[in-house]
Structure 1
Amino acid sequence: MTDKLSRRSLLRMGLGGVTGLALPATVATAVAARLALEAAHTSPSVDRFAVPLTIPPVLTPYDAAEPTDIYEIRQVTAEAEILPGLRTPVWTYGGVYPGPTIEARRGRPVSVRHRNELPVPTVVHLHGGVTPPDSDGYPLDLVLPRGVHDWQGHHLGAGPPPGGTAGVAHGERTYHYPNDQAAATLWYHDHRFDFTGPSVYRGLAGFYLLRDEAEESLPLPRGRREIPLMIQDRFFNEDGTFFYPSLDPTLVERPGVQALFADGVRGDTILVNGKPWPFLTVDGARYRFRVLNGSNARAYRLRLDPPPPGGGGLVQIGSDAGLLPRPIPLDEVYIGPGERYDVIVDFSRYSAGSRVVLANGDGDEPTAQVMRFDVGSRATDDSVIPETLVADLEPMPPIDAPTTRSFVFTGGQGGIPATINYRTFQADRLDASVPLGETEIWSIKVDPEHPFHPHLGHFRILDRNGEPPEPQDSGWKDTVQIRAGVVRVAIRFSTYTGRYVLHCHNLEHGDMMMMANYEVIP
């Protein structure tokens, strides 16, 4: 296999007939062309704030015997009413869209048996989880559909061989999650090699909320005032079906999207928990929102419109990997694909009858609004935002760590293949070996914008383009949206050895091989 740009790379972009690199000359050209194509495809009109927000159901273990909670999830096709009055075929975990929420406890292991009854292979990744390599969801650890014993798809022919870590499973696989990490908002989603983008787009995503005693001892909003929000964007056809520009709509053989969408599929309809621009009726009290950007490629600049008197309406209490040391009042939160932010909104700062929009400051019509909160009268509220959330959070690692690595994320726009360090992913190539238990400094340079996500590893952001991190960068993270330039992180790998991947969490870029292997060694 060659490490450099190849015809296979171009095929992923729908450019297999191109010789050389006679591609659009600039990023601006490609973006303009994509916008023109998006304008040509418009989803059916939907009234804003006309449907109530729904909360994904919490999954019940079928066996809660000590010492492990055991779940079973059937991956099945279904139909969901996403746009009012229309039925959308979806791929689901457990028949619901989005998937059901798993609530786990620190120190109590969870085993999830996934049974694949879909027409294509799947892989399940617990995003943010500290998991052994054979349960991490390595993209080539395929679970073949039930009854299928010899998959003949493109990725088993011209592409890398299957079975990167746990091998190929037939019909089902049980993933084991030790949950030996701090309470955090995690999520699980499909991670099949070549086809992560369309599989997540069709519905394969759900929350995984990890709780612990330290978090539960805090007087934070809970119960019906603790709400997960999965924000996604989608295109729809007139009949309510998803529009996704796959080169192979069956997702069986040819990976990739139409060339004009190579910089990521960004839809014109905003969904929250699977509903378009929903509303939520709230009391005049504090609410905790676990916000997940589950979109394939779109980033959001979230803010309240109107802001509460005095500003600081989004009080950040947590990041990807858990609670912050102290709450941070913010006017807006910038959230890239795969990132999570826990925020508290005190609706008692608004008068009863107020209508408050969760807006997207980076969006244009129709993506400038996300959902609406309809504020009721003041209600009894015994919650408090403590001045200290985590007293013993591990401090920022030293900046003079002995090992520094550099990763350059380029391409995915303007007809340029997506690469890391100017190489596309190869399953049989090891790109880095990282000693277990050591902290390293990694420099991630991007052109022009990419969300960086390493499996297994959690990190602290040291600086952005040589400047101090932004306030929302506090705490331990597993994903960071990088908006041009360089971000340096101090990263650690604890508990497990084995092979993992790091990649761009723009899912179309990941499918175009903006991914690399690394190995944690003893």
Structure 2
Amino acid sequence: MHRRTLLAAGALGAGVLLAGTGQSRAVAAARRLPAVSDPRYLTPTADARAVPRFVNALPRPTRLDLGERGSATLAMVPTTQDVIGGGLGLRTPVWGFTAAGEPGTGRPPASWPGPTLVANAHRPVRVRWVNALPYRHLLPVDTTVHWAFAGTDRTIEADGVPAVVHLHGGHTAADSDGHPDAWYTPGGGTGPAFSGTRFTYDNSQESATLWYHDHALGITRLNVYAGLAGFYLLRDEHEKELIGRGELPGGSYEVELAIQDRDFRPDGALAFPDLPAAAQDWPGGPSVRPEFFGQVITVNGAAWPVMDVEPRQYRLRLLNGSNSRFYRLSVGGAWPFPTTQIGTDGGFLTAPVPLRQPLLLAPGERADVVVDLRGRGGQSFDLTNDAPTPFPDGTAVSPPADQVLRLRVGLPYDRRVPEPSLPRTLRAAPWHEGGDPVRTRRLVLTEGMDQYDRPKPMLGTVDKGMLEWMDPVTETPALGTTEIWEFYNTTADAHPIHLHLVRFQVLDRAPFTAVKDPETGALSEIRTGRRLPPEGGESGPKDTVRALPGQVTRVRAVFDRRGRYVWHCHMLDHEDHEMMREYEVT
């Protein structure tokens, strides 16, 4: 079955409503949501249209100041959370993070997202990540993909769920990076790259919106979907001065927003596709999907919340933490109030960029945005999404997944807090990464089929074509050198490409044509069109870049730490099914 057919089969419109009339009364009485049939699922799932919208208060993650402590212990644990809300009393089992408290204070409740870790640039911190996950997964595990336990006699029932935390965007030594094979289990099992559970983050970079999440091989999409993610805000003196001088919002007027899509069962439990993608049953059970798109949009672990605000300026730290869904954010296609982007994945832009078009975020990308709600008292604005699935030429987003968050300007204005005045520039000079490149690497994004005729997105080189995770490393930058990496996307979809360790500069994009080997995916006779500069919101440090179909996307990076790292598509469904490769700085 073609991948587009698979995706179309999962659309909400194909479902059949099982609940009858009087839905709201039935839900309240039975503590269940109305059900629909969906061809991706063995049993009915909750009708997303019945999930309450814009009634739940936006959760604000607890902040843990690592600058004061210098170290912390965080545990990955099961918990329950009121994700659905609306007074229905449905508790959703999730996996979250909890931080060990001060001596004698005990441990605060676990949450998804986990606590926001706040650190200072150039001040190292140590984090011990404890795997206290259960011996049964919340979601269906597909053992036919290459995953943590592949080729071993380990099982989740005997060893527990494998996990390892990666600080996404961190300039981190290889033994603390959260390599996919560095997983470990609550029962003591470890992966071939395991180097311990205490990670050091040097924070040797500028202020940025980073995030941490699970990265275990072949199971990342499930562990992150279950809730294993959180923010990591890195501060430096420059950012502190901008806030202190009244040029950026700070304190309670700085809000982190993790946007993720989910499906649910009628009882409020998380749902993830568990029906094989073809008539026959796969030997490993549920089949990995080409992409997953949930119909319920959550922000900070709550479905369609309301953010109550004052009529003033707010700084929003936005993260697309979804498995595969892109977001093109706006208010009904426009910005009815001044909205300005000031930063991207790895730090500030050169100067503030007013948004005149929707803000596009691929999975893994972040954006630092200031919204100006002065003079908007008493009004409400719904943040919407119109990104097709898959992006950019897939199916138009269908309600209710086209809505994200409501901004309700109803809080009284606190006149004791001065209004910030955004600076004209945020950097002394435009962001430029590295010196003269010593090498240009030509890399290919392609798609094959696995042994069960399932679509398998893959990475490789222009010369060799598609390569699997276990194939020998082909990218070996020398320590301290600058390289240009070119991503030739021969697939029909955009892929967010993430490189561990480095912050890179997006150079340009250009259309290309080539002769593609039908067996290997290797390219020859490449012809490239006119290069187009990156979008204004991409002019700062990046660690994830959108590689658009039919285009070559070029980035420049400095590889300044020895060790083995990975680069991959950050659509987690792709990453878990071979669209990830190792590289080694030598």
**What TM-score do the two structures reach when normalised by structure 2?**
0.75
- 2-side partners of 1:284 and 1:471: how far apart? 27
Contact in 1 for aligned 2:326/2:361 (Cα 8 Å): yes
1:72-114 Cα shifts (integer Å, max 9, x gaps): 0111111111112211111111111111110000011111111
- 1-side partners of 2:172 and 2:422: how far apart? 31
- 2-side partners of 1:247 and 1:458: how far apart? 39
2:305 paired with 1:278: yes
- 2-side partners of 1:81 and 1:265: how far apart? 23
- 1:307-318 equivalences under 5 Å are 307=334, 313-318=338-343
Match of 2:142 in 1: none
1:188-215 Cα shifts (integer Å, max 9, x gaps): 0000001000000000000000001101
Aligned counterpart for 2:447 among listed residues 411, 428, 436: 411
Report deviation, 1:364: 2.2
AA partner of residue 121 (structure 1) = P
- 2-side partners of 1:254 and 1:282: how far apart? 52
Query: CA 1:467–1:92 in 2, change beyond 3 Å: closer, same or farther?
Result: same
Match of 2:20 in 1: none
2:182 paired with 1:136: no
Match of 2:475 in 1: 432
Q: Note the residue ranges of structure 1 that are not aligned, 5 or more in a row.
A: 1-23, 152-161
**Once superposed, what is the RMSD of the aligned Cα atoms?**
2.5
Match of 2:52 in 1: 47
2:292 paired with 1:265: yes
Aligned counterpart for 2:96 among listed residues 92, 98, 103: 92
Match of 2:167 in 1: 126
1:142-192 Cα shifts (integer Å, max 9, x gaps): 1221xx2457xxxxxxxxxx323x44x5xxx11110001000000000000
1:448-494 Cα shifts (integer Å, max 9, x gaps): 22110010121111112222222222111000123312243333234
**What TM-score do the two structures reach when normalised by structure 1?**
0.84
1:282-305 Cα shifts (integer Å, max 9, x gaps): 111110000000001000001124
State the identity as a percent: 40
- 2-side partners of 1:339 and 1:351: how far apart? 29
- 1:195-274 equivalences under 5 Å are 195-218=219-242, 219-245=247-273, 258=287, 262-274=289-301
Structure number with higher relative contact order (C-alpha < 8 Å, ≥ 6 residues apart)? 1
Query: CA 1:432–1:247 in 2, change beyond 3 Å: closer, same or farther?
Result: farther
- 2-side partners of 1:458 and 1:256: how far apart? 39
Match of 1:303 in 2: 330
Q: Note the residue ranges of structure 2 that are not aligned, 5 or more in a row.
A: 16-36, 39-44, 99-109, 135-160, 277-281, 388-396, 511-530
- 1:68-107 equivalences under 5 Å are 69-84=70-85, 85-94=89-98, 95-107=110-122
AA partner of residue 472 (structure 2) = R
Contact in 1 for aligned 2:353/2:536 (Cα 8 Å): yes
Query: CA 1:443–1:73 in 2, change beyond 3 Å: closer, same or farther?
Result: same
- 2-side partners of 1:59 and 1:255: how far apart? 40
- 2-side partners of 1:444 and 1:314: how far apart? 31
AA partner of residue 62 (structure 2) = P
2:427 paired with 1:390: yes
AA partner of residue 399 (structure 2) = E
Report deviation, 1:346: 0.2
1:253-281 Cα shifts (integer Å, max 9, x gaps): 9879535xx22111000000011111111
Match of 1:371 in 2: 405
Query: CA 1:255–1:286 in 2, change beyond 3 Å: closer, same or farther?
Result: farther
Contact in 1 for aligned 2:343/2:537 (Cα 8 Å): no
AA partner of residue 223 (structure 1) = G
Q: 3-state DSSP class of the match of 2:469?
A: coil
1:57-80 Cα shifts (integer Å, max 9, x gaps): 01255x956xxx110011111111
- 1-side partners of 2:113 and 2:469: how far apart? 32
Q: 3-state DSSP class of the match of 1:423?
A: strand
